[in-house]
């Protein structure tokens, strides 16, 4: 077993203690910054009576942001948050284009051109007992 004199031992012990304190401090700092003062953002949107949206229409819901589609198969909703880095895509002719990095999606949300690699997600729509539409973000 190699000899470790008192001076080296104390030096290494000091280093170890300082490193542990530093790591504990960083951990504490991370916990401090991780606290969230705001309530989680809205995840359910009330869209009013379903009868307000005629068959064959596409309605822009800027607050979500999403587009509500009503066709023969019923109601569906397409998220307008670009799957690349989260900008809101804009309708351009029959396509959806992201202003930030130019991703292009078709009407169904499929990727036509990158950089986005995932299609725009479909959002869940439910009709309440009173006949109101509700949109769920998750």
Partner 1 sequence: MRPNFFHHLHPPTIPAQQSRWRYTLGAGGTAVFLLFVLAITGMLEMFYYTPTPEQAALSVQTISYHVPLGGLVRNTHYWSAQLLMIVMAAHLIRVVMTGAYRSPRRFNYLLGLVLFVAVVLLNFTGYILRWDQGIQWALVVGTNLLKTIPVAGDALYVMLIGGSQPGPATLIRFYAWHIFGLGLLVVILTGWHIFRVRRDGGIAVPPPRLREDDARITRFELVQREVLAMILITAILFILAIFFPAPIDAPIEQLTTMANDASAPWFFLWVQQMLKWGDPFVWGIVVPLVVMLILALIPYVLPQAQDAELGRWFPKSNRLARLVLIGISLLVIVLTLLALLPGS
Residues 6+ apart with CB under 8 A from 104: 95, 96, 97, 98, 111, 112, 113
Q: Which residues pair with 76 in a beta bridge?
A: 69
The stretch among 13-21, 48-56, 77-85, 120-128 that binds partner 1 (CB under 8 A) is 77-85
- 93 touching partner 1, by CB under 8 A: no
Among 59, 76, 87, 132, binds partner 1 (CB under 8 A): 87
Residue 8 Cβ vs partner 1, minimum distance, rounded to whole Å? 27
Our CB check for partner 1 shows the closer of 41 and 94 to be: 41
Q: Give the DSSP H or E segment for 44.
A: strand 44-49
Strands 122-127 and 132-136 come out as: antiparallel
Nearer to partner 1, 22 or 99 (CB): 99
97 binds partner 1 (CB under 8 A): no
In this structure, are residues 75 and 66 in contact, taking their beta carbons and an 8 Å threshold?
no
- List residues binding partner 1 (CB under 8 A): 30, 33-38, 40-41, 62-65, 81, 84-88, 90, 99-102, 114-115, 117
């Amino acid at each position: 077993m190699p000899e470790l004199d008192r001076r080296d031992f104390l030096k290494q012990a000091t280093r170890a203690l300082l490193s542990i304190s530093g790591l504990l401090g960083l951990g504490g700092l991370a916990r401090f910054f991780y606290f969230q003062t705001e309530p989680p953002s809205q995840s359910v949107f009330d869209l009013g009576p379903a009868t307000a949206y005629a068959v064959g229409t596409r309605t822009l819901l800027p607050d979500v942001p999403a587009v509500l589609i009503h066709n023969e198969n019923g109601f569906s909703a397409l998220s307008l948050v670009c799957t690349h880095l989260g900008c809101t895509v804009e309708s351009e002719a029959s396509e959806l284009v992201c202003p930030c990095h130019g991703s292009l999606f078709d009407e169904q949300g499929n990727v036509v051109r990158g950089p986005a690699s995932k299609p725009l997600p479909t959002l869940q729509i439910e009709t309440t007992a009173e006949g109101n539409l509700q949109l769920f973000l998750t």
